[in-house]
A and B are shown apart, each in its own frame.
Chain A
Amino acid sequence: MTATAQTPRRTATPDRTVTFRIKRCDGPGKPSYWQDFRVKVPKNSNVISCLQQIAAEPVTAGGERVTPVVWDSGCLEEVCGACTMVINGKVRQSCSCLIDDYAPADGDVITLEPMSKFPVVRDLWVDRSRLFHNLARIKAWVPIDGTYDLGAGPKETPASQATHYVLSTCMSCGCCLEACPQFNLEEDRDQWDSSFIGAHAISQARLFNAHPTGSELKPDRLDVLMGEGGVNDCGNAQNCVQVCPKHIPLTESIASIGRQVTLHAISKFFRG
């Protein structure tokens, strides 16, 4: 959010038609193909509202009646992370992608593609199970003694809360992974644990290592992160922090975990 008064948006042509060029795929192992759809966009449209129009009336620009486009979405206010896709070549949430910004003039084209680092389920819908698997690998939780009434948690300074809150707003959307040159598509589950884990999980490890109770599992997390596919696989392209919709300081998390594994390795060397 800008600290000064807002800059006015570009004025968009009212009652214009925008072309959506959509990369489609009927299912895993099937070839991809492109289809164009022309959509009349009302004011305040976003990619989701246009996809809804296409779903209700799936006719291509060439007049062919086709199956409705399939896509993933949830909250539509950029907190659930579901509707992430590649729009005009860059990864982002489609709900917050306003047509007035992306296609202000009549006849403008918007391309929609599924994320390329996760297996396509159908059309724009990908399966991001690996994201959650990675959270399990690094034990991204606070190991509490059960859900019973055992008093309050530890006190925390506002400054520390502010740091942790930002890390904790990660919605596992996968933008940082899609844009990362070191994170690759792995359809074979056996490769998941040796292929780069990505900024998403590294940042969560930082969050839980910083929690007084969560730090109990810090050695386990660092063991995973110093191994194959861990933090060392980061190539420091720093695209992750550029595309993160929640402005999470992912590169700081990577550096912080870098320091933690360095010290962890030294400690392990001398203490076994």
Chain B
Amino acid sequence: MSQHRVIVVGGGLAGLAAAVRIAEAGTHVDLFSLVPVKRSHSVCAQGGINACNEVARQQGYSEYEHFDETIYGGDFLADQHPVLEMANWAPRIIDLLDRMGVPFNRTGEGNRDLRLFGGSLFKRTHFAGATTGQQLIYALDEQVRRYESEGKVFKHEFQEFLWPVMEQGRCVGIVAQDMRTMHIRAFRADAVIMATGGCGLVFGKSTNSIICTGAAAARCFRAGAWYGNPEMIQVHPTAIPGADKLRLMSESARGEGGRVWVPRKAKDPRAPKDIPESERWYFLEEKYPAYGNIVPRDIATREIFDVCVNQGMGVYGENQVYLDLTHKDPEYLTRKLGGILEIYEKFVGEDPRFTPMKIFPAVHYSMGGLWTTYTKGSYNPQTALTKHKSGSPAPIDAKVGQGMQLGAVNNSMTNIPGLYAFGEVNFAYHGANRLGANALLSCIFDGLFCGVSVLNFIRNEAPGKNPAVDLPAGAYDAVVQQETAKMKHLLDGAKPANQDASTNPYMIGKELGEEMTAACTVVRTEARLKQCLGKLAELKDRYSRLRLADGASWTNQSFGYARSVGDMLVLAEAIALGALERRESRGAHYRSDHTGRDDGNFMKTTLARHANGVTAVEFVPIDASLILPTARTYGKKDSSPNAAAAPAMASAAS
């Protein structure tokens, strides 16, 4: 084993995949996580993981079409080469997970079963019940435990990442704090992989876990890492409203035939089963005859939002629509969707197999994240091709290295050498909107494919000659001191008597969430975003005078939360600023004052930089040399609640 060490921050799918890849190559991994890795937010992913498969392939589908769908679904904002490589790798990843023992649902013959998912007309989504993310992360957790037993991985659980350590122009380690003992320590590493997920908590209530504050990414951002497309926040169309969080109702509910509707009569007081078919408005099926209920998330979200908020057609006049599965066989539903239906029943108290679910959109995923780069692969056509015709022959095969060059040291590396970003915190793959069941794929792909790049970096670049273990302690000590001072600042004067709402971290966090949800989610306007930036400035000011009620130097949870709020404020500002400056509508970003897509000015990455406490954004060109942009309509037609009730037809329900 070499004397090199790699730090992986985050124990979700991306972090675990990276840890396994690096550990099996013989390099020591230090894995940092806020929670035991088995409890990471990846467990919440429900629907499945996309990959071209033999059944779809024999119907004309290909890895290339998967790539094309992802680019189109992301509204042409992603650099195209990394997406191509990811789509090409997808079948390999499924095979690997299969070998690891993931209990994928099976067909009668014992093959992996498939389901339909948003943004595709082919069944290309592999799934394990309705808890695919959980099953995938368990499989990787088990592999990491194996390497942990062999002493190749060391897990630092309940450790919070505080700051990257930079020396000689590269990242050489991190400073982290044990959330129990509150000890702040520096850890040396030849490369640091951030796999810290999204930032749902910036929006207060979201579908994210309580740990998804985005603080780790924000700290890298504050330390000089660039942030890409911060404004691209996916609002999932179907979530269960709740007091503490908004629980996801998987897209697979629609993929398995779930139909979205509202009564044609506004504020209809009747129970759903008493409303005859002719008086139900299946607005998605009417507006999008081809895709029906399985249009991509941003479109479904906006339509539901429009029906409820603008037209006042929500069920019982509230912000909710029906997601109806009651026409399906209850046995079938239990087998295919048991896990998520159980969640609904547990938290709402109604059985969705017999009563339509009441759902509303919720913040779900951050397409944006730390900006990363890559080395282009071998596929470079003379001119970009037009949009791939579904089911037609693919222009290229799926050999490795056509999209990204395997092992190039800068794949998924941030602007700071030695600092990588994998998974949701990497902005690279989903453009302006992520397709359902592509998130799990991008996480594992990053870990496996770019893990090789990390290995090459520590072997062939600066760490090869000058490993972190030999560096002077000065840089590490300085960051430890910086973080200790931060802690002292927050803890000094903390006492239970401090309960003034204006300087209470929980109140500031709550107001931040409410403001961001109101200004920066489904519909955005210049005026509202400017107001939001004003509010953020006010919150920042209040934050600087923050008073804690708990001064404990042992497992001080409110201190940890308070520190994250400071980082969330920085991230929130980048999100609002990006949304303000992007004067167009694209994917998840919808500006009611700029409703069209403006490829000339904005088919560019929003690049946010932070220096001296100030965030600035600019737009930098993307590489779109593979596919020409086309209008992203998903075949939309006009529809209104009062139109003659067309025979409702769901392409997925048949």
Q: Is the CB of A80 within 8 A of B99?
A: no
Question: In the complex, what residues of B have CB within 8 A of residue A160's CB?
Answer: 106
Q: Is the CB of A140 within 8 A of B142?
A: yes
Q: Is the CB of A1 within 8 A of B209?
A: no
Is A226 an interface position by the 8 A CB rule?
no
Q: How many residues of B contact A (CB 8 A)?
A: 87
Q: Is the CB of A171 within 8 A of B43?
A: yes
Question: In the complex, what residues of A have CB within 8 A of residue B21's CB?
Answer: 147
- Known contacts A70-B557, A121-B180: A78-B346 contact under CB 8 Å: yes
Q: Is the CB of B36 within 8 A of A55?
A: no
- Known contacts A168-B138, A211-B101: A2-B243 contact under CB 8 Å: no
Closest to A142 in B: B101
* Listed residue (B209, B247, B341, B350) with the most chain A CB atoms within 10 angstroms of its CB: B209
Convert B292-323 into 0s and 1s, putting 1 for each residue whose CB lies closer than 8 angstroms to a CB of A: 00000000000000000000000000000000
Closest to B552 in A: A67
Is A153 an interface position by the 8 A CB rule?
yes
Q: Is the CB of A55 within 8 A of B506?
A: yes
Question: In the complex, what residues of B have CB within 8 A of residue A188's CB?
Answer: none
Which of B96, B100, B342, B549 has a CB less than 8 Å from the CB of A149?
Answer: B96
The docked-state distance in angstroms from the alpha carbon of A77 to that of B129 is: 16
The docked-state distance in angstroms from the alpha carbon of A169 to that of B107 is: 20
Q: Is the CB of A141 within 8 A of B351?
A: no
- Known contacts A26-B554, A27-B555, A75-B43: A6-B499 contact under CB 8 Å: no
Which of A3, A42, A71 has a CB less than 8 Å from the CB of B243?
Answer: A42
Convert A202-230 into 0s and 1s, putting 1 for each residue whose CB lies closer than 8 angstroms to a CB of B: 00000010010110000000000000000
Interface-side segment among A105-113, A131-139, A176-184, A189-197:
A131-139
Convert A55-66 into 0s and 1s, putting 1 for each residue whose CB lies closer than 8 angstroms to a CB of B: 111110000111
The docked-state distance in angstroms from the alpha carbon of A27 to that of B553 is: 10
Which of B98, B108, B247, B330 has a CB less than 8 Å from the CB of A153?
Answer: B98
- Known contacts A67-B549, A80-B39, A143-B146: A73-B210 contact under CB 8 Å: yes
Convert A111-132 into 0s and 1s, putting 1 for each residue whose CB lies closer than 8 angstroms to a CB of B: 0000000000110010111001
Which of B44, B241, B243, B554 has a CB less than 8 Å from the CB of A75?
Answer: B44
Closest to A155 in B: B110
Q: Is the CB of B148 within 8 A of A45?
A: no
Q: Is the CB of A171 within 8 A of B209?
A: no
Q: Is the CB of B103 within 8 A of A3?
A: no
The docked-state distance in angstroms from the alpha carbon of A147 to that of B95 is: 10
Question: In the complex, what residues of B have CB within 8 A of residue A96's CB?
Answer: 346-347
Which of A9, A78, A150 has a CB less than 8 Å from the CB of B99?
Answer: A150
Is B517 an interface position by the 8 A CB rule?
no
The docked-state distance in angstroms from the alpha carbon of A2 to that of B210 is: 30
Least CB distance from A71 to B in Å reads 8
Least CB distance from B199 to A in Å reads 16
Is A257 an interface position by the 8 A CB rule?
no
Question: In the complex, what residues of B have CB within 8 A of residue A71's CB?
Answer: 557
The docked-state distance in angstroms from the alpha carbon of A78 to that of B340 is: 11
Q: Is the CB of A6 within 8 A of B39?
A: no
* Listed residue (B103, B109, B143, B334) with the most chain A CB atoms within 10 angstroms of its CB: B103
Q: Is the CB of B354 within 8 A of A6?
A: yes
Least CB distance from B610 to A in Å reads 29
Q: Is the CB of A65 within 8 A of B499?
A: yes
Q: Is the CB of B143 within 8 A of A125?
A: no
Question: In the complex, what residues of B have CB within 8 A of residue A157's CB?
Answer: 106, 110
Q: Is the CB of B44 within 8 A of A77?
A: yes
Within 8 A of B (CB), among A1-23: 1-3, 5-6, 9
Convert A156-171 into 0s and 1s, putting 1 for each residue whose CB lies closer than 8 angstroms to a CB of B: 1110111011001101
Which of B111, B131, B143 has a CB less than 8 Å from the CB of A141?
Answer: B143
Q: Is the CB of A79 within 8 A of B345?
A: no
The docked-state distance in angstroms from the alpha carbon of A96 to that of B329 is: 27
- Known contacts A65-B497, A147-B21, A213-B99: A76-B549 contact under CB 8 Å: no
Is B196 an interface position by the 8 A CB rule?
no
Least CB distance from A138 to B in Å reads 10
The docked-state distance in angstroms from the alpha carbon of A46 to that of B549 is: 24
The docked-state distance in angstroms from the alpha carbon of A76 to that of B347 is: 10
Closest to B96 in A: A147
Least CB distance from A270 to B in Å reads 30
Is B425 an interface position by the 8 A CB rule?
no
Least CB distance from A221 to B in Å reads 13
Question: In the complex, what residues of A have CB within 8 A of residue B64's CB?
Answer: none
Least CB distance from A251 to B in Å reads 21
The docked-state distance in angstroms from the alpha carbon of A5 to that of B350 is: 8
Which of B111, B343, B448, B504 has a CB less than 8 Å from the CB of A77?
Answer: B343
Least CB distance from A162 to B in Å reads 8
Is A151 an interface position by the 8 A CB rule?
yes
Is A98 an interface position by the 8 A CB rule?
yes
Closest to A127 in B: B180
Closest to A76 in B: B245
The docked-state distance in angstroms from the alpha carbon of A52 to that of B440 is: 30
* Listed residue (B106, B142, B349, B558) with the most chain A CB atoms within 10 angstroms of its CB: B142
Which of B17, B38, B104, B554 has a CB less than 8 Å from the CB of A132?
Answer: B38
Question: In the complex, what residues of B have CB within 8 A of residue A161's CB?
Answer: 103-106
Question: In the complex, what residues of A have CB within 8 A of residue B394's CB?
Answer: none
The docked-state distance in angstroms from the alpha carbon of A129 to that of B158 is: 11
Which of B41, B96, B131, B349 has a CB less than 8 Å from the CB of A9?
Answer: B349
Which of A2, A42, A43, A66 has a CB less than 8 Å from the CB of B351?
Answer: A2
Least CB distance from B46 to A in Å reads 9
Question: In the complex, what residues of A have CB within 8 A of residue B625's CB?
Answer: none
Question: In the complex, what residues of A have CB within 8 A of residue B339's CB?
Answer: 79, 169
Least CB distance from B44 to A in Å reads 5
Q: Is the CB of B134 within 8 A of A171?
A: yes
Q: Is the CB of A164 within 8 A of B99?
A: no
Least CB distance from A232 to B in Å reads 24
Which of B40, B109, B499 has a CB less than 8 Å from the CB of A59?
Answer: B499
Which of A125, A141, A153, A158 has a CB less than 8 Å from the CB of B145?
Answer: A141
* Listed residue (A78, A100, A147) with the most chain B CB atoms within 10 angstroms of its CB: A147
Is B616 an interface position by the 8 A CB rule?
no
The docked-state distance in angstroms from the alpha carbon of A59 to that of B565 is: 22
- Known contacts A65-B499, A136-B149, A147-B21: A169-B131 contact under CB 8 Å: yes
Closest to A167 in B: B103
Within 8 A of A (CB), among B29-62: 35-36, 38-41, 43-44
The docked-state distance in angstroms from the alpha carbon of A67 to that of B245 is: 24
Q: Is the CB of A172 within 8 A of B38?
A: yes
Question: In the complex, what residues of A have CB within 8 A of residue B341's CB?
Answer: 1
Question: In the complex, what residues of B have CB within 8 A of residue A68's CB?
Answer: 549-550, 557-558
Convert A74-105 into 0s and 1s, putting 1 for each residue whose CB lies closer than 8 angstroms to a CB of B: 11111111100000000000011010100000
Least CB distance from A206 to B in Å reads 13
Question: In the complex, what residues of B have CB within 8 A of residue A250's CB?
Answer: none
Question: In the complex, what residues of A have CB within 8 A of residue B550's CB?
Answer: 67-68
Q: Is the CB of B343 within 8 A of A52?
A: no
Least CB distance from B198 to A in Å reads 13
Question: In the complex, what residues of A have CB within 8 A of residue B247's CB?
Answer: 76-77
- Known contacts A46-B243, A213-B99: A74-B211 contact under CB 8 Å: yes
- Known contacts A68-B550, A144-B143, A155-B111: A56-B92 contact under CB 8 Å: no
Least CB distance from B515 to A in Å reads 17
Question: In the complex, what residues of A have CB within 8 A of residue B143's CB?
Answer: 141, 144, 147
Least CB distance from B282 to A in Å reads 24
A-B contact pairs, 25 of them (CB 8 A): A1-B345, A26-B554, A46-B243, A49-B243, A56-B507, A67-B549, A67-B550, A74-B210, A75-B41, A77-B247, A77-B343, A81-B39, A121-B180, A129-B157, A135-B142, A136-B145, A141-B143, A143-B146, A146-B24, A153-B95, A153-B101, A157-B106, A158-B107, A168-B135, A214-B101
Q: A26-B552, A75-B209, A95-B244 are in contact. List 9 more A-B contacts (CB 8 A).
A: A1-B338, A5-B351, A44-B243, A70-B555, A82-B35, A146-B24, A150-B96, A168-B135, A169-B129
Can you list the 7 inter-chain pairs with the closest CB atoms, starting with the nearest?
A: A155-B110, A153-B98, A56-B506, A141-B142, A49-B244, A122-B555, A49-B243
